[in-house]
């Protein structure tokens, strides 16, 4: 029997958003990601994407020594007013019996693990004194990344870039609640930023890469699709590029479009996260760094497993 156990069907653990927020902090999620990276790559299983009339259905399975899991996530192209763009479930299975042991809110899990992965990469790549963040986007991922990045760098100022003034103001107020000086800004904010974080559904680049300061760190998490990108070719070719997985990252538009233009190739990727975790040292040479994230199944499983273990320790 693995440490997750194999409960009776009526004892399957159900973890809603509030449960995940209580059980797993950004730091704890980072530790789970770090543990998975240190353990080395488990068997990589490609995601399945199914086009729907109203959007896309993603299936992301994963397996580790102690558990297996699958995320079923629906992404709405045009969600109703006030409705989330992403919704779904994550099911965790015991590694030995393959009995289901837990069902988690997949959207909340995705936000938590994505912010944690970005924070881990930022901690490895960004300057230790990075303190000014230009944050593109105002949705759940932007909120998750604000908290996660504030946990790994001494942020003092946040410049929020978004299309909806009310949502921008809400994120400014959230940053203020974290004791950060925050304000609305435009895309030119990248010129004065140490960290640039892109958490949008944009199909087109969000800023002019020529404005990036030397040594800035950019995180792009918005899309895994080949026709969409948040960063322009200039940002890519100027930067030391780090990815989760080369093939998956190059299939996304942020890197795939510069590759089609003949300005980027697989050999231009400096490292993946497993290589960084193994101690690979990068020569940054004062250049900007770019972490392109598309989301990997092992990340979901690592954080989901941490949540289930914590839930098993909680008083009943």
HEC string of 200-223 equals CCCCCCCCCHHHCCCCCEEEECCC
Q: Is 30 helix (H, G, I), strand (E, B) or coil?
A: helix
- Mean pLDDT, all residues of the chain: 92
d(CA 264, CA 311): 45
Confidence of residue 116 (pLDDT cuts 50, 70, 90): very high
The answer on pLDDT for 2 being more than 60 is: no
- The residues, any chain, with a CB within 8 Å of residue 39's CB and separated by 6 or more, are 64, 65
- Those residues with Cβ within 8 angstroms of residue 8's Cβ, 6 or more apart along the chain or in another chain: none
- Of all residues in the chain, the percent with pLDDT exceeding 70 is 94
The pLDDT score that the predictor gives to residue 77 is: 83
By residue count, the chain amounts to: 316
Name the one residue in this structure whose structure tokens are 């199914």.
50
Mean pLDDT of 240-257: 92
Question: Left, alpha or beta for 5 (phi > 0: left; psi -120 to 50: alpha)?
Answer: left
The bridge status of strand 157-161 relative to strand 181-184 is: parallel
187: helix, strand or coil:
helix
Lookup: tokens for 71: 């995320």
Across the range 142-153, mean pLDDT stands at 96
Structural domains of the chain sorted by starting position, each given as residue range(s) with its CATH number in brackets? 9-110+298-313 (3.30.1780.10), 117-295 (3.40.50.720)
Predicted confidence (pLDDT) at residue 287 exceeds the cutoff of 60: yes
Note the pLDDT of residue 224.
82
Render pLDDT for 64-80 as a digit per residue (tens, 0 to 9): 988 999 999 998 887 77
The percent of residues above 90 in pLDDT, for the chain, comes to: 78
**pLDDT computed for residue 1 by the predictor:** 35
Mean pLDDT of 165-190: 97
Q: Which residue has the tokens 């800035």?
A: 216
């Amino acid at each position: 029997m693995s440490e997750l156990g194999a409960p009776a069907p009526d004892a399957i653990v159900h973890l809603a958003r509030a449960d995940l927020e209580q059980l797993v902090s950004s730091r704890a999620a980072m530790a789970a990601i770090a543990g998975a990276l240190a353990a080395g790559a488990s068997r990589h299983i490609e995601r399945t994407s199914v086009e729907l009339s109203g959007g896309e259905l993603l299936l992301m399975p994963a397996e580790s020594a102690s558990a297996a899991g699958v995320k079923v996530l629906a992404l709405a192209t045009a969600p109703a007013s006030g409705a989330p763009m992403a919704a779904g479930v994550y099911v965790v299975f015991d590694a030995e019996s393959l009995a289901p042991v837990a069902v988690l809110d997949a959207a909340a899990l995705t936000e938590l693990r994505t912010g944690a992965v970005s924070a881990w990469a930022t901690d490895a790549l960004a300057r230790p004194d990075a303190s000014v963040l230009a944050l593109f986007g105002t949705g759940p991922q932007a909120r998750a990344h604000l908290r996660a990045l504030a946990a790994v760098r001494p942020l003092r100022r946040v410049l929020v870039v978004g299309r909806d003034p009310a949502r921008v103001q809400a994120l400014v107020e959230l940053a203020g609640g974290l004791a950060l000086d925050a304000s609305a800004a435009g895309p030119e904010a990248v010129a004065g930023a140490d960290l640039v974080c892109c958490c949008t559904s944009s199909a087109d680049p969000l800023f002019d890469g020529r404005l990036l300061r030397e040594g800035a760190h950019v995180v792009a998490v918005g899309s895994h699709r080949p026709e969409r990108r948040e960063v322009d070719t200039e940002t890519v070719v100027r930067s030391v590029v780090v990815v989760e997985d080369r093939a998956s990252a190059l299939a996304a538009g942020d890197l795939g479009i510069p590759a089609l233009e003949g300005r980027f190739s697989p050999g231009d990727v400096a490292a993946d996260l497993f290589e960084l975790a193994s101690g690979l040292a990068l020569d940054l040479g004062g250049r900007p760094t770019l972490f392109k994230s598309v989301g990997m199944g092992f990340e979901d499983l690592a954080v989901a497993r941490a949540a289930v273990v914590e839930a098993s320790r909680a008083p009943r």
